[in-house]
Each structure stands twice: as C-alpha cells, then as structure tokens.
Amino acid sequence: MRSLVLLAAISAAAIVGLGAARGETRPALRLVDASPVTFRGTGFEADEHVRVFFVGTTRAVRRVVASAQGRFSVRFADADANACTGFSATAVGDQGSRATFKRAPGQCPVP
C-alpha cells in the first residue's frame, strides 16, 4: 500500500514539473507605469486577441494581440492611476485567458 501511495505522489510531482518546464503560467496583469497608465500582461496564449477594460475615474477599452510568448503592453493615456478613488483593469482573451489588477480606494501615492 505504501509503495502505491509513493508511486502516486511521484507521478503527481512529475506532472506538475512537466507543466512548469513547458512554461505554463497563469495570466497576470501588472501596472508598470502610472503616467500614462500602462499595464503589462503575461501568461496569455500565443497570438491571443485580448480586450483590456479600465475602470476608474474614466472608463476605457483597448484591444491588443499577445506576442508569441503570450505577453502584451497596453496604455491608457486618459486614465488617472494617481486618483485616491481606486481603479481596476481586466484583460480577457479570446482563448479563455483572464487576468485582473485592482487598486483599492484610499491607496494614494505619497506626494
């Protein structure tokens, strides 16, 4: 019985290791610049068409295509990331990838 449990544990570890070796990552959206508001997306499918929604003091949508490595960068020139009201951005890909970034109200930058 112990050998069966050990074999199952080794098999599970190997499967997880294969996924990491292939570079499988979860989609992520990060704020890389506040002026102009710029986000970087990673972990999306290669050449995936992505819509990025920004909701804050203004609302905007941008459409981008992820690179062969599943990355993209998108800029919202009219958006204000320095507002104390908070904001969020959501990236939704046409192949099912999805990532969200949120800044809660009251997280103001230090003057």
Residues 25, 87: Cα–Cα separation, whole Å:
25
Residues 12, 87: Cα–Cα separation, whole Å:
39
Higher pLDDT, 11 or 51: 51
Residue 92 CB partners (closer than 8 Å, separation 6+)? 50, 51, 52, 53, 98
Is-contact 73 38, C-beta < 8 A? Answer: yes
Q: Where are the domains of the chain?
A: 26-103
Binned at pLDDT 50, 70 and 90, residue 7 comes out as very low
Q: pLDDT digit string (tens) for 72-97?
A: 999 999 888 877 888 999 999 999 99
Q: What is the pLDDT of residue 77?
A: 93
Residues 78, 107: Cα–Cα separation, whole Å:
20
The CATH topology of domain 26-103 is Immunoglobulin-like (2.60.40)
pTM over 0.85: no
Q: What is the pLDDT of residue 81?
A: 80
Q: What is the pLDDT of residue 1?
A: 56
Q: What is the pLDDT of residue 68?
A: 97
